[in-house]
Structure 1
Amino acid sequence: MAGKDGPIERTLHRATMVRWRRAARQAWKTSLPVLRRRSNAARALRQHLDELLHVAGERLAMPRIGSDAFPRPHGTDWSWRPQLWRGPLPVRGRAGVPSGEAVGDEVTVFHDCTISELTVRQLRNQREADLAPYGLRLDVFRFDGSFLSVVLDLPPDAAANLRKRHLLRLDAIVETEYPLEIFARLNIRHGPNTEQVLREIPAGSREVTVEFDVAYTKLNEKRAEKLWIDLIFENPEMNQITIRDLTFCRYPRAEL
């Protein structure tokens, strides 16, 4: 059975350890032809060991990859953590990011810089306090544009059965190198129209919560098609922005 370490495997492992420990101790006295063969064998073995250690580091680090665990308010009928914060992306980082660059399947970066000096990369969260396996980091250097935004496309089930009595809550863990104004804008497409609700993310707090009240829109409940969120960063030049976690919940407003 794959992954099973029985008595035979443990005996072979001990014998292999003894062999390589002896080879290391005798390296200064070993003949060059023999040393060359052992060196080549050690390099081949190290390649497999490095691969094992890399995968083990990913899987054993806190929190567990793929985790969708986070607090949800009572009555929640839809919740979501985007894939970028749940699992590894095929391409972890990009430099000189152009406007409209997709980061995974759900996140897109927009700006109006003439020359992009923006780096975006996914990083592994390893602190015990972090619930999300991954985070998103933006390093902004010279910035000659007027806006920088990260757009998240919410999945289709976010719009399914959406009603004006719903609240949509965004919870995030945001770290910045220097104080920064950040806004979150909810967009709801219903038929030919799009409703927007803008909220400012509280400054100075690492863990933030923002609620969007759908009652303040002119939503046609029968035609809700698509939801997306714009995270807008004001004057981000020479700043490092790390979004450690990002989650969404939808639940009905308490009746008055």
Structure 2
Amino acid sequence: MAKSRRFFQQALQSGLSRYWARNARKASEADIATLRAQRRRARTLRQYLDTVIAVSESRLALPIIGSNAFPKPHGTDWSWRPALWREPIPAKGRAAVENKEMLGEEVTLFHDCRISELTLRQLRNHREKDLAPFGLRMDVFRFDGSFLSLVIDMPQEAVSGLKREHVVRMDTIVEMEKPLEIFARLNIRHGPNTEQIVRELPLQAEDIRVEFDLAYSNLNEKRVEKMWIDLIFEGPEMNQVVLRDVTFSRRPRAEF
């Protein structure tokens, strides 16, 4: 049935193309009544064609869903864009987000507000410069807590073969309604201990990037179990923060 339908559609499309090609060739010789009728039909058809072309070009210009493409430093041996920025999630948003509530399977919001006036929402990126298919918008209204952080759990591949000679890099694109401070804290669990390295995001820079050099850590390479990152927001009240993209990579540090 599907094959016969496709065959019929192809035959119809081919016939319509020949019909309008013939009309175009003979337009200069057609009588006025015929020409007027053809013009009316052509204008109606052009409206539909223009709509298909406009919508197609708009959608095809968007970042491809599932894309893991982004610039990586030379020597990268692992890279990753979390699923929330890569593909659609079943629940697009959360309102009055409670402590430890998740959006997707890798992103968790932590706070100590008595009354939550926080929202999280996945949104589709439309800008020409965006490489990530999706972004994350966080709206903060009244904030009566003392901390607010977004935790991103990294996959097991991130810690496979992880050594103190590695440099872990995070790149992000951030939009804010008004200035605030954002800190990134890398956490690596090794045995009973957790190594933590904190960096402030350079929000005034064109490329918002932080690097965590594990050479300055006390990492026990033989007992590495898990790695995650906290994005800590200072003074978030009455603000909207959009994370257009968040990506991670790691590479061996250069030897000197």
Q: Which amino acid aligns with 1:8?
A: L
CA distance in 2, matches of 1:227, 1:59: 36
Aligned residues: 221
Structure 1: tracts of 5 or more residues without a match: 13-20, 23-51
Other structure's SS at 1:157 match: helix
Of stretches 71-80 and 61-70 in structure 1, the one that deviates more from structure 2 is 61-70
Q: Give the match for residue 10 of structure 2.
A: 6
Q: Which residue identity does 1:130 align to in structure 2? A: D
| Structure 1 residue 60, shift from structure 2 partner | 3.0
Q: In 1, Cα distance between the equivalents of 2:179 and 2:154?
A: 28
Q: CA deviation at 1:239?
A: 0.3
Q: Is structure 2 residue 101 aligned with structure 1 residue 97?
A: no
Q: Distance in 2 between matches of 1:58 and 1:133?
A: 13
Compared CA separation, residues 6 and 141, structure 1 to 2 (3 A)? same
Q: Distance between the aligned counterparts of 2:250 and 2:72, measured in 1?
A: 9
Q: CA deviation at 1:57?
A: 9.3
1:173, distance to aligned residue in structure 2 (A)? 0.3
Answer yes or no: is the 8 Å Cα contact 1:179–1:204 preserved in 2: no
8 A Cα contact 2:174 2:203, kept in partner: no
Give the letter aligned to residue 196 of structure 2.
Q
Give distance in 2, aligned partners of 1:133 and 1:224: 32
TM-score, normalised to structure 1, is: 0.80
SS at structure 1 position matched to 2:157 = helix
Q: Which residue of 1 aligns with 2:165?
A: 165
Counterpart secondary structure, 1:194 = strand
Which residue identity does 2:231 align to in structure 1?
A: L
- Counterpart of 2:99, as a letter, is S
8 A Cα contact 1:182 1:231, kept in partner: yes
Are the equivalent residues in 2 in contact too, given 1:174–1:207 (CA < 8 A)?
A: no
Q: Contact (CA 8 Å) 1:170, 1:249: kept in 2 or not? A: yes
- Give the equivalent residue in structure 1 for 2:68: 68
TM-score (norm 2): 0.80
Partner SS for 2:12: helix
* Secondary structure of residue in 1 paired with 2:91: coil
Question: For the pair shown, which has the larger CA radius of gyration, 1 or 2?
Answer: 2
| CA distance in structure 2 between the partners assigned to 1:146 and 1:210 by the alignment | 25
- Mean Cα displacement is larger for which, 60-69 or 227-236? 60-69
1:81 is aligned to 81
- Quote the sequence identity (%): 64
Unmatched 5+ residue regions in structure 2?
A: 17-39, 42-51
Q: Deviations over 1:72-123 (max 9, x none)?
A: 1110000000000000010111110001001101000010000000010000
Contact 1:59/1:65 (<8 A) preserved: no
Is 2:194 the partner of 1:191?
no
Q: Distance in 1 between matches of 2:93 and 2:167?
A: 34
Following TM superposition, the consecutive aligned residue runs of length 4 or more in structure 1 with deviations greater than 6 angstroms are: 55-58
**Partner residue in 2 for 1:112:** 112
Distance in 1 (CA, whole Å) between partners of 2:212 and 2:191 is 20
Cα distance in 2 for partners of 1:208, 1:221 equals: 29
RMSD: 2.7
Structure 2 counterpart of 1:125, one-letter code: N
